[in-house]
Structure 1
Amino acid sequence: MALPYSVLKVCGDIVFAARGGDIYSFTTGLEYISAWRYPAKQANAPSGPSSEPAAASPAPAAAAAPASPASECPPAKRRRVEPEDESASAAQTAEPETTEAKNKKPQQQQKKKTGHQKHSVELPIIQGLYTTTDDRYVVAITGSDKTIWVFEHDGAGNLKQLSQRMMSKRPCSLAITPDNKTILSADKFGDVFALPLIYSEQQQQQQPKETEASSAASTPVSTPSTPQSFKPQANELTIHTKRNLKALANQKLGLKHAGSAKTVDPVFEHTLLLGHVSMLTAIAVASKGDARYYIITADRDEHIRVSRGMPQAHVIEGFCLGHDEFVSRLCIPASRPEVLISGGGDDELFVWDWAAGKLLAKTNLLSHVQKLLPAINKIAVIRILACRPRQEDGNGPTWVFAVCERIPALFAYGLLQDGTLQHCQTIPTPGNPLDVEFLESTSQLLLAMDPDVASSGEGSVASSSLRVLSWEPATAGWQLVDNESSRIKGLPAADDGDAVVLSAEDVQRALYTTESLRKTNSEPAE
């Protein structure tokens, strides 16, 4: 299988669609413009110096993939997908190898060669695309290397890479301040950092040298003592419960691999603004209409926090409490900035007066999913979009669209004046939706999905993973467009085909990650 387009961002009359680690640009009529390639050397062989940063390549030279500077290119993160079994390795060391074990070795090696194996290097996947309000800059995140990428947009669909910054923890969501000067990065460790949108590459290259010089000047002549490694005070003889025994085993396993783990501290300017005691999942910026703005953050522990914007981000204004499961998405409609819509692992979508921390309404999304798929008993919201199609009188309704992980449908609601969400339509799709964006110039929806190519017979994943939905004012309904205007045009053959082929398991692991936020009772009984 090949990766479909999974992340969308509309920037004026330009559509940016991420597929794997690459970003493609199209017109609103889905005519191909250019593509920015994830640096090949960084993805495949991250060693040695490399050339200038990769920029958006026009259609005739779309296959070019120049690499980026070594000073800005962190190596691809290599990790062990499945940790060693300590007890098994200890048993293997203690007991001599039998003849039967020796005979099994060639079979095991042959099985490893022929069977499916997980990648030792994580694939570079664009997990989020963001734009400034003036559409001049585009920001992206790749989770595998914990990197934030900043591009300059020329307004015609071409991207020029300005910087890439590797964070110490994996970013999960970004927001850009209203003045278009600062990136707010929420990571899986629970922290929010502020980074300047534009910064000097020369400053980044000089900063390590200055740091080394200052540290050398302040280092005493005597050799510092080696810090003692941490040793658990407990052992198998002092603890008795299964839970504590398991915790001790995990602690020893972590200590065993701690020596090989290297922590890379960012050398660029970044400021810690606030933190949660749980994994952050979403971040948004809101305003009451005055000059002050607020930072809204959501986490895995069902919390939504409202904090002041910089430089008073440490001040907590309030909370929006009411979720029983993780919160994965936040949405503030442009037509109703006083309203916050949230969703995650709960059965419902929530509507808040975020400034007052007041729940206005909630609607049961699971009930509409079950009308389509009765066997489903839980959902995970992966996208919430609010938009207002144009009408002749200029007073069109505000529509809210919800996408659930692995559910082949788009759920449309009307946002009423009192904050209530009224279900209007369930739109079945020929695949699982991954993202949805609103094309304001044409009053259409653009849907990125994981298509069922085998059953639909529509050809390659690339050509069938973008679909257009049109709005019919007469019927107030949304319909999938199935004509030439809804198909990708001009995409190079190498990209339209399935050049990068992955196993079905790898595709699933790359695209479907939200349900894994749900907490499970995996602890053994005492």
Structure 2
Amino acid sequence: MLHLRCGLLAVAGGSRLVAGRIRSDEPFFVFDFGSLERRPPGRQDPSDQEKILAAAFSSSGEYFALTDENKRLVLFKTSPSWEKISVRWLSRRCTALAFSPCDSRVLVADKSGDVFSFSVKAAQEDGRLELGHLSMLLDLVAALDGRHIITCDRDEKIRVSLWGAPHVITAFCLGHTEFVSQLVLPAGREKLLLSGSGDGTLRLWRYETGQELQNCRISSIPRPENDQEDKVGPIPPSLGFAVFRIRCCPRGEKVAVLCDGVHGIYLLSISDSPRLFQPLYVALPYVPVDVDFEDSTSLWVFSAIKENPIELLQYREQRWQPVPRDDRMKELSEVIRGSWEQMEGSVVLENRFSALYKAVFDNMASYLQKKEARIQTEKRKFSNGQEGSTAKIQKA
């Protein structure tokens, strides 16, 4: 996972967090989840692992939160230097994290469909239940006005709930035909929501009313004519393209999209209309693990290549291209390589969502096949009965 906010960068994977300021001479902060205490005896789960599941910066960048498979919520303060300030236990494994707009609470979505919130200031305070779904939650965001919590689940639904009264659902954003994997609120675009799904689409909504403004099928974005498939790897069939990451630049006018197993990045712009336009595919010689914007013309990429784990793309001369690594990038790469053994096992490049697609059973075909077999059996019985009757008459 790669996250940028307010000049800060965090790379998390496996049991390691590497973080620090992008433009600074300060050493990078390295934290190992293996150093944390595990659950008390009797409450431990044999399947628990030291693996980070979700992470998020607060809107101001002052706080950073992580959860892992040991059901721990770890909160860090980033200023004046990175420091762990609390560790709290969750009842279930987390699927997504988000901070409230004023940085006062951390929202945690879990696999059972519940959303809990935890106080940032009261570090030892237990979480409180905010809302629940009947399906596994995959992502959530808190609206900048502080009035709404927006959640998405495995059952193709996007739900908009009132924060103060979460039992009040103000709207559903319906249209996806597979699980909804990602939600993003573009900065500076009031009441707009972007969603990505296993159906291979990126959709733009007015979330307060549930109105779909645009449906962009990722597979329809053209590839450059000079892009050679054998160089960057095959593009999945149109039924693939499951969206697993959406990032917006700080001003909200650029969008980056990653799809499961695709060797490249899809980039789009958001107009004032609002519409998604200027779709572009940027081919890479590897499958990116994660991306995030530093600004509208700078895009950081995290890869699964140990020799070059972090790369910066900038928009220059009418195209996106990698820039030479400066001393700070070399230092960051060296620190990541030093934690590679702990991070490498968590890097997933494809089939992230294979367990989320619902199996389709053609019961009618099975029924018709069994019906035809019964008809043929009855015909044979009838035919054998007629032959027996004829034989008796002839004998008489």
TM-score category, normalised to shorter length: 0.7 to 0.9
Do the aligned partners of 1:72 and 1:165 also contact (CA within 8 Å) in 2?
Answer: no
Question: Which residue pairs with 1:500 in the alignment?
Answer: 341
Alignment deviations for residues 159-179 of structure 1 (CA, whole Å, 9 cap, x no partner)? 211111221111111111122
- 1:275 maps to what in 2? 132
SS at match of 2:32: coil
Aligned to 1:521: 360
- TM-score normalised to structure 2 length: 0.80
**SS of the residue 1:489 aligns to:** helix
Out of 174, 180, 184, the position equivalent to 1:331 is 184
In structure 2, C-alpha distance between the alignment counterparts of 1:466 and 1:420, rounded to whole Å: 31
**Which residues in structure 2 correspond to 1:92-491 (within 5 Å)?**
122=49, 124-142=50-68, 144-155=69-80, 158-201=81-124, 269-287=126-144, 292-309=146-163, 311-368=164-221, 373=234, 375-377=236-238, 378-387=240-249, 398-440=253-295, 443-451=297-305, 461=306, 463-472=307-316, 475=318, 477-481=319-323, 483-485=324-326, 488-490=329-331
Q: 1:376 to 1:370 in 2, by over 3 A?
A: farther
Q: Match for 2:46: what amino acid?
A: R
- 1:181 offset after TM fit, Å? 1.2
- Classify 1:135/1:73 alpha carbon distance in 2 versus 1 (closer, same or farther; 3 Å): farther
Helix, strand or coil at the partner of 1:496: helix
Q: 8 Å contact 2:183–2:246 — kept in the other structure?
A: yes
Distance 1:349 1:151 in 2: 32
Over 3 Å counting, the alpha-carbon distance change for 1:334 and 1:74 in structure 2 is farther
Q: 1:194 to 1:493 in 2, by over 3 A?
A: closer
Higher helix share: 1
- State whether residues 307 and 315 of structure 1, in contact with CA within 8 Å, keep that contact through their aligned partners in structure 2: yes
* Alpha-carbon offset, residue 375 of structure 1: 4.9
The DSSP-based 3-state class of the residue aligned with 2:56 is: strand
Question: 1:407 & 1:36 partners in 2: Cα distance?
Answer: 30
Per chain length, whose mean CA-contact separation is higher, i.e. which structure has more relative contact order (CA < 8 Å, sep 6+)? Answer: 1
Offset of residue 387 of structure 1: 1.7
Q: What is the total number of aligned residue pairs between the two structures?
A: 356
Unaligned runs of 5+ in 2: 368-396
Mapped contact 1:170–1:187 kept (Cα < 8 A): yes
Shift of 1:513: 2.5
Give the Cα–Cα distance (whole angstroms) in 1 for the partners of residues 101 and 250 of structure 2: 21
Structure 2 residue matching 1:168: 3-state secondary structure: coil
Is contact 2:286-2:303 (8 Å) kept? yes
Q: Secondary structure at the match of 2:17?
A: strand
Deviation (angstroms), 1:521: 3.2
Maintained 8 Å contact 2:221/2:280:
no
Q: TM-score, normalised by structure 1?
A: 0.61
Mapped to 2, the partners of 1:39 and 1:420 lie a distance apart of 42
Q: Partner of 1:78 in structure 2?
A: 46
Counterparts of 1:436 and 1:327 in 2: how far apart (Å)?
A: 19
Distance in 1 (CA, whole Å) between partners of 2:218 and 2:29 is 37
Bigger share in strand: 2
